[in-house]
Amino acid sequence: MSAERPRYGEARQALLKAVVAVVSRVGLRGLTYRAVAAEAGVSHGAVSLHFGSRERLVEEALAMTAARAVSLASLERHSERTEEFVDDLTAAVVADEDSFAFQFELALESRRDPELRRPIKDLYDLYQRAIQSELTGLGVGRDPALDRLVLAALEGLIFQQIVGVGEQDEIEASLTRLRRLLAAAVADEAQGR
């Protein structure tokens, strides 16, 4: 539970952060207005007042975490060298582990809850576009299959980092290998292959 109440005008943001914290800690099935309100340090009615429905609350929290993840992982920076691609990814996961855990939880729950399918598809579309933009900036031509492959690799490494099955140096080594593969794709593109 949060130690202090948010200042005037900060309740909405505090509630979004509380959703992420609650879901990452106890799962989506443990997400209640009471749990969110307690975590945010606001009254139970504030949740309904600001969001109106549980679905809207979850969707807005998902959008918030996605935008933050793209920013933290520097997927909007437009790297100019493959060595810079996802430079900040592991630090982003460490800095905001709950947000990534929240997204994974919602992605898995979307298999059982049709209401979550659209927001999860939107999340993956956002990530796909960010990666496509980065790869285009690096000199790789439009290649949706490569974009999806890179997204899957990054997502897998993030998942391993969150659940603690990958050592930090192993994850960094994998990212280095991914950058080398992308450098080879850039070289192939430059040679017209």
Helix (H) or strand (E) holding 123: helix 117-138
Q: Are 55 and 33 in contact (CB under 8 A)?
A: no
Which one is the CATH code of 53-190: 2.60.120, 1.10.3860, 3.30.2310, 1.10.357? Answer: 1.10.357
Total-model pTM: 0.86
What are the tokens at 30? 């443990």
- Digit-by-digit pLDDT tens for the chain (193 residues) are 443 676 656 788 999 999 999 999 999 989 999 999 999 988 888 888 889 888 999 999 999 998 888 877 666 666 677 877 887 788 888 888 999 999 999 999 999 999 999 999 999 999 998 889 888 888 887 889 999 999 999 999 999 999 988 788 999 999 999 999 988 988 887 787 6
C-alpha torsion sign, points 122, 127, 133, 139: negative
What are 150-159's contacts with CB under 8 Å, separation 24+?
150/178, 150/182, 151/124, 151/127, 153/178, 154/86, 154/89, 154/178, 155/127, 157/89, 158/89, 158/93, 158/100, 159/104
CATH architecture of 1-52: Orthogonal Bundle (1.10)
